[in-house]
């Protein structure tokens, strides 16, 4: 069992690390700076996080957990499934912006970080798919959606969201995606969601063409 004092210290470290990574980027932040921010000795910081990579991984995991927890609650709300799908897309876009603010794409060339981050991202992708599947299945049961397989539709929608984001990441020339590209991505996500709902909604729930 984690002692309350230790858990609070860990959260303070994560908060300080998040601020430093967002402001300076992974490569420029030192463990000494984070230890000073929290008022710890460097040895004490290493007790909680043995490497800077582990600390960054924990910061990202914290962000992703917050996103997934909020999406789990949203999926249980008493709102129509089409509205849930739109809420998911908006929240996912906001989550993407938070990860960008951490300068996460500064790590694309890091051979050390990629193997560390991959299992975490895969785990959260499974959770994300489960939530989408729940929304699509609810819409099918309520006759909001006309789909043969909630599993396949949820998977296709998630792949589409990932694909649009990946296109913008690959098009960027550096560790930061330009604000214009971000705005274009947001519009693209809304457009694709409209098209997707046009295809799966029954007539009574189909969105009006914009």
Does 172 have pLDDT greater than 90?
no
Q: Which pLDDT score, from 0 to 100, does residue 26 have?
A: 85
Alpha-helix runs per DSSP H in the chain: 4-24, 31-38, 42-48, 52-76, 81-101, 113-141, 150-171, 179-200
From residue 69, alpha-carbon distances to 55, 92, 137 in Å are 21, 12, 19
CB atoms within 10 A of CB 54: 13
Domains assigned to the chain: 1-50 (1.10.10.60), 54-205 (1.10.357.10)
Express each pLDDT in 53-103 by its tens digit.
999 999 999 999 999 999 999 999 999 999 999 999 999 999 998 888 887
Q: Is there a contact between 67 and 95 (Cβ–Cβ < 8 Å)?
A: yes
* Strand, helix or coil for residue 202: coil
Name the pLDDT band for 1 (thresholds 50, 70, 90): very low
Which of 119, 129, 127, 13 has its CA nearest to residue 69?
127
Q: Which pLDDT score, from 0 to 100, does residue 27 have?
A: 83
Name the pLDDT band for 118 (thresholds 50, 70, 90): confident
Express each pLDDT in 5-28 by its tens digit.
889 999 999 999 999 998 888 888
Q: What is the mean pLDDT of residues 145-161?
A: 96
Name the average pLDDT for the chain.
88
Q: Which pLDDT score, from 0 to 100, does residue 107 have?
A: 63
Whole-model pTM: value is 0.85
């Amino acid at each position: 069992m984690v002692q309350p004092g230790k858990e609070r210290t860990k959260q303070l470290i994560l908060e300080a690390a998040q601020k430093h990574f967002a402001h300076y980027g992974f490569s420029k932040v030192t463990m000494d700076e984070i230890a000073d921010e929290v008022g710890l000795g460097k040895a004490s910081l290493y007790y909680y996080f043995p490497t800077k990579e582990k600390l960054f991984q924990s910061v990202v995991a914290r962000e992703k957990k917050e996103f997934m927890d909020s999406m789990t609650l949203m999926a249980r709300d008493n709102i129509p499934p089409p509205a849930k799908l739109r809420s998911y897309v908006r929240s996912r876009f906001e989550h993407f912006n938070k990860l960008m603010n951490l300068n996460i794409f500064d790590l694309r060339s890091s051979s050390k970080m990629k193997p560390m981050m991959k299992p975490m991202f895969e785990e959260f992708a499974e959770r994300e798919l489960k939530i989408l599947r729940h929304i699509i299945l609810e819409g099918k049961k309520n006759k909001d959606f006309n789909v043969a397989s909630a599993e396949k539709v949820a998977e296709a929608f998630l792949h589409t969201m990932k694909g649009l984001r990946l296109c913008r990441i690959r098009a960027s020339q550096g560790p930061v995606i330009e604000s214009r590209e971000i705005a274009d991505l947001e519009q693209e996500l809304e457009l694709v969601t409209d098209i997707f709902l046009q295809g799966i909604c029954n007539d009574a729930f189909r969105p009006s063409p914009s």
